[in-house]
Amino acid sequence: MPLNSTMSSMVKFSVFFAFFITGALFGESLDLQSSKLDDTKRSGSQESTGRKEINKTASVEANSNENEPIVVEDTSGLSKEELSEKANRFDKEKKHLKIKDVVESIDENGTVNVTKLLKKKTFAPSPRAGFDWIRTKYGDWLIGHVRSLYEKELEFDSKEFGIYRFKFKDIVEIKTYAPMQVNIDNVAIFKGVIRYKDDKITIISGDHTYTFNKDMIISITSAEERESRKWVGDFSLNIDFRKGNIEQEDVVFKESLERRTPKSRFSMDYLGRFNKAAGQTTANDNRLNVKYDLFYTKKLFFTPVVAEFYNNKFQNIDKQYTFGFGVGYTVFDVEKVKWDVAAGPAYLYTRYFASDEAKPYETSLSFEAYTKYEYKFNHLNKMKINYQLTLTQKKSGRYKHHTDVTLENDIIEDRIFINTSFIWDYIDSPQSAGGITPLKSDYQLIVGSGLRF
């Protein structure tokens, strides 16, 4: 493809992406205003009562940053045990059978069918001695600890089978003993004991009780400051079959780490390969990406920090640093599909091993665009696509991209997996040295296995 055509396509893509993000921001703003109007109209509901209490707190807490979510703290002074006991009393109030339930349980003989009546109400266990309970759609009660709810997956630490991730749609009831943090879309972050049933979540927070619909939940995390519960990740050891500036097989290490809270998401991804032959290093390149997102709404997030370190001897890159910021939007977050897009400006510094130019390094401003796409074929198999695009000056490579397409297959669900990845790195204007110009494209096929935690 001619260079001018390539750059023209990139410019068109950039303009399209800018319009897409602007439209997303505008649409999200309209949704936010509409949500606030709807909240005002629901003045007689329990949810509205909760919001009135929130508004009293908002005047104090929102002074620091209007865009930050309001955090509704429990100021009652109740201990964990007292709060749990209050939640148990809430459960007992909900267990009363209605006249409608009794009438619907009368059989053709005019007598009450006790079996049918019992099915109308689930007489659930109460959380005791620091343990939580969840009930699946199959009617099974499990005891353990609710660790988190994120991206429609509930992570539960069971006494019977350890840490397990459930699809949220498969959970019909939750009862926690310890207080949790619940991020409610466009409202606030609440701290309290959770009762979830009939697609509604109730947060019992000291003197107040708040109830919201299921689809308003962004995330649930532990209110206790136990740092280990906020982290998830995986790593894998692989063999790499390469083609491009060098053709050989290397040992490759891939790692992905993420820290989640109701307000933010920190992620770090690493890809490194190493090989030696006859005492000579034939492969030693590394790519480290760090990203920090702050959630404005359920779909819109701001990224104040985007950073990358990259080196590759066979692309003549000794050190390359990228620092930037941006804004992102969640296009899809449904059962099978997750898709995030983000973009923003960045500063690019590149030092070369050797250069035909007067200086061995280049600095420039750039435009960075990212997208992460995940599709679940079933509970064991998924596909991930990570794409990173850079538009900058010719001296720094002009147009670059890093594409990673990965197929993951769980051997033990959410624990041990095998993966196959295709990676394509492209630099439109590589830096020449000694009259030799590296190839524009490097292709890698990676096969290996790893552990998820």
Both tokens of residue 304? 């104040």
Domain count across the chain: 2
Helix axes 3-41, 46-61, angle to 10 degrees: 110
User: Which positions ≥6 away from 85 have C-beta within 8 Å?
Assistant: none
Could you report the per-residue pLDDT of 302-335, keeping only the tens digit for each?
Answer: 999 999 999 988 888 899 999 999 999 999 988 7
Per the DSSP assignment, residues forming a β-bridge with 314 are none
Domain of 344: which CATH number? 2.40.160.40
Residue 92 has pLDDT above 60, yes or no: yes
pLDDT at 35: 45
Looking at the chain, how many residues does it have? 453
* pLDDT tens, residue by residue, 221-237: 888 767 777 788 999 99
430: CB partners within 8 A, 6+ apart: 315, 316, 397, 437, 438, 439, 440
Residue 427 confidence (pLDDT) = 93
Q: Determine, yes or no, domain membership for 36.
A: no
State residue 68's pLDDT score: 56
Is the pLDDT assigned to residue 406 strictly greater than 90? Answer: yes
Residues 448 and 402 in one domain: yes
387 contacts 401 by C-beta, under 8 angstroms: yes
How high is the pLDDT of residue 51? 45
In percent, the amount of the chain with pLDDT more than 90 equals 39
| Higher local confidence (pLDDT), 54 or 353 | 353
Together in a domain, 247 and 203? no
The sign of the dihedral angle between the CA atoms of 174, 177, 181, 186 is positive
Residue type, 166: F
In a domain, 239, yes or no: yes
Is the confidence at residue 215, as pLDDT, over 70? yes
CA dist 132 and 173 (Å) reads: 11
Q: Is 178 in contact with 172 (CB distance < 8 Å)?
A: no
In this structure, the answer to whether residues 122 and 162 fall within a common structural domain is yes
Residue 47 has pLDDT above 70, yes or no: no
* Per-residue pLDDT tens over the stretch 9-44: 444 455 455 545 555 544 554 444 444 434 433 333
Among candidate residues 225, 240, 265, the one where a domain is terminated: 225
Instruction: Quote the pTM value.
Output: 0.66
- Claim to verify: residue 255 and residue 400 sit in the same structural domain: yes
In a domain, 33, yes or no: no
Residue 328, both tokens: 């992102």
Q: Are residues 298 and 381 in the same domain?
A: yes
In a 13 Å sphere around the CA of 193, the CA atoms on its Cβ side amount to 29
* Structure-model confidence comparison of residues 379 and 135, the more confident one: 135
pLDDT value for 370: 94
CA proximity to 170, closest of 187, 189, 156, 191: 156
The pair phi, psi for residue 179, each rounded to 5°, is -65, 145
CA pair distance 328, 370, nearest whole angstrom: 9
Question: Cα–Cα distance between 149 and 220 in angstroms, integer?
Answer: 5
Q: What is the pLDDT of residue 278?
A: 66
How distant, in Å, are the alpha carbons of 44, 371, 376, 386, 432 from that of 424? 57, 15, 22, 11, 20
**Do both 173 and 238 map to the same domain?**
no
Per residue in 366-396, pLDDT (tens digit) is 999 999 999 999 988 999 999 999 999 988 8
Whole-number Å distance between alpha carbons of 135 and 125: 10
Distance CA 211, CA 50 (A): 8
Confidence of residue 401 (pLDDT cuts 50, 70, 90): very high
pLDDT digits (tens, 9 = 90+) for 64-74: 444 556 778 77
Which residues have a Cβ under 8 Å from the Cβ of 351 and sit 6 or more positions away?
317, 318, 319, 320, 360, 361
DSSP codes, 389-446: EEE--GGGTSEEEEEEEEEEEEEETTTEEEEEEEEEEEESSPPPBTTB---SEEEEEE
The answer to whether residue 24 is domain-embedded is no
Enclosing domain of residue 447: 230-452
236 and 88 belong to one structural domain:
no
For residue 112, pLDDT over 90 is answered with no
Same domain, 118 and 242: no
Q: Beta partners for 241?
A: 249, 445
Do the beta carbons of residue 117 and residue 97 sit within 8 Å?
yes
Average pLDDT over residues 179-187: 89
Confidence of residue 414 (pLDDT cuts 50, 70, 90): confident
More confident residue, 1 or 300: 300
Q: CA-to-CA distance for 27 and 408, rounded, in angstroms?
A: 34
Give 253-286 pLDDT, tens digit per residue: 999 999 988 788 999 999 998 887 666 777 788 9
> What pLDDT is stored for residue 42 in this prediction?
39
**Percentage of residues of the chain with pLDDT beyond 70:** 75
Write down the pLDDT at residue 94. 58
Question: pLDDT tens across 150-170, in order?
Answer: 878 898 988 777 778 898 999
According to the model, what pLDDT value does residue 98 have? Answer: 59
Tokens 């992620």 label which residue? 267
